[in-house]
Amino acid sequence: MERIKVGIIGTGFVGTVHIDALRRLGFVEVVAVAEANEELAQKKAADFFIPRAYGNLHDLINDPDVQVIHNCTPNHLHLEINTAIIQAGKHIFSEKPLGMNRFESSKMLELAEKYRVVHGVNFNYRMYPLVQDMKHRIQKGELGKVNLIHGSYLQDWLFYETDYNWRIEPKYGGATRAIGDIGSHWCDLAQTLTGLKITKVFADLSTVIPVRKKSKIVETFSENREPTDYEEIPIQSEDWGAVLIRLENGASGVFYVSQISAGRKCCLNIEIDGSNQSFYWNQEEGDRMWIGYRNQPNAYFMRDPNQLDPKCRGYVLAPGGHPEGWLDSLKNSLLAYYRAVLDAKNALNKKPDYATFHDGYDISCIVDAIVESQQKGKWVKVAR
């Protein structure tokens, strides 16, 4: 079997971890990268021993050898680039969010279905082995009826007023930042685990740091910098958000997100309280889940391929006691996606474990409803 040939557009942090995960699959070969200019593309290609470098993304898209393209560019470029990829008839794996809003996401979903390409979106947290195991436990009825769902996603990478990134600016990141960037992951996790849609939201978002200092030094950040090295920028996107939710079965829930919580690096956690028991999982301790009971001792369940649901054992990459984490969850997402690429004729008729453009569109609908709720100060129904 010949290896599937892949091109990567955008080689920042996310692009490089895509390259790493793809190389671990074995039956996939990264043959080309595209960047904003020829010099940067050549450098990245040399760094990762990739044979082809393009300073124009359309040259990569039109490369006849490239079968699948990963779009790892900033949010505001997704619609234009994904559209070009799909219209070229290439299978596509896009970074999230799929679009800047549900209307953009809808256009891309419709186009992907029209051209019959295999489409995926990088909501990788759903692909931890224990998350998949929890999903199947809930499907089998172990949890009972879903009564409540709650959790959070906390980070500190924008803790200081001097912390700045393109995601802060709505024209690049979208109308919401903390919710769109990390809250979207929580929503995907909630819907994946329960199998239930979020139908209504009530949001309270706030900008804790109203003015940030954007460095005038583009390439590096120095610890000792004079005030003249910064440009003061009024901030329109939120640092924090709390959202009440309702699920389609009537269950209530709440989640909150922050990018200014000192000491919290990637603290994504979720608890689902059912009529029989409760499940709790924290990404920073991704190899174990907590099971809560009313009339017997609570338990911790450790990731062990011999004890997981048979349907998700294929995503276990190491024996019990050998930690797996964030990079492995991306590898699992791409493993499931590329298995679908191998079976492209039948893949579009199945509901896969990895997130598709359907999921990307659905999360865009939830995020848009949260933005509307913040603006109107009331419950908003998720429009799909």
Predicted pLDDT of residue 219: 43
Predicted pLDDT of residue 346: 83
Pair 59, 35: CB distance under 8 Å: no
CB contact set of 113 (below 8 Å; sequence gap of 6+): 348
The C-alpha atoms of residue 109 and residue 242 are separated, in whole angstroms, by 29
Predicted pLDDT of residue 221: 37
Angle at 20 between CA 265 and CA 79, to 5 degrees: 80
State the CB neighbour count (10 A cutoff) for residue 342. 11
Predicted pLDDT of residue 348: 80
The phi-psi region of residue 89 (left if phi > 0; otherwise alpha if psi is between -120 and 50; otherwise beta) is left
For the domain made up of 129-322+356-381, give the CATH fold: Dihydrodipicolinate Reductase; domain 2 (3.30.360)
Which among 339, 299, 300, 302 has a CA at the least distance from the CA of 319?
302
Which among 238, 165, 205, 167 has a CA at the least distance from the CA of 377?
205
Q: Collect the ranges in the chain with pLDDT lower than 70.
A: 1, 217-228
Instruction: Provide φ and ψ at 366, rounded to 5°.
Output: -65, -45
CATH superfamily of 4-124: NAD(P)-binding Rossmann-like Domain (3.40.50.720)
DSSP state at residue 67: -
Position 144: which residue type?
G
Predicted pLDDT of residue 129: 95
The C-alpha atoms of residue 118 and residue 112 are separated, in whole angstroms, by 8
Pair 316, 129: CB distance under 8 Å: yes
The C-alpha atoms of residue 61 and residue 7 are separated, in whole angstroms, by 8
b/e code 203-235 from CB counts within 10 Å (16+ = b):
bebebebeebbebeeeeeeeeeeeeeebeeeeb
Predicted pLDDT of residue 105: 98
Tell me the pLDDT tens digit for each residue of 124-179: 999 999 999 999 999 999 999 999 999 999 999 999 999 999 999 999 999 999 99
| Bridge partners, residue 274, by sequence | 146
State the CB neighbour count (10 A cutoff) for residue 162. 16
Cα torsion through 342, 337, 100, 72, rounded to 10: -90
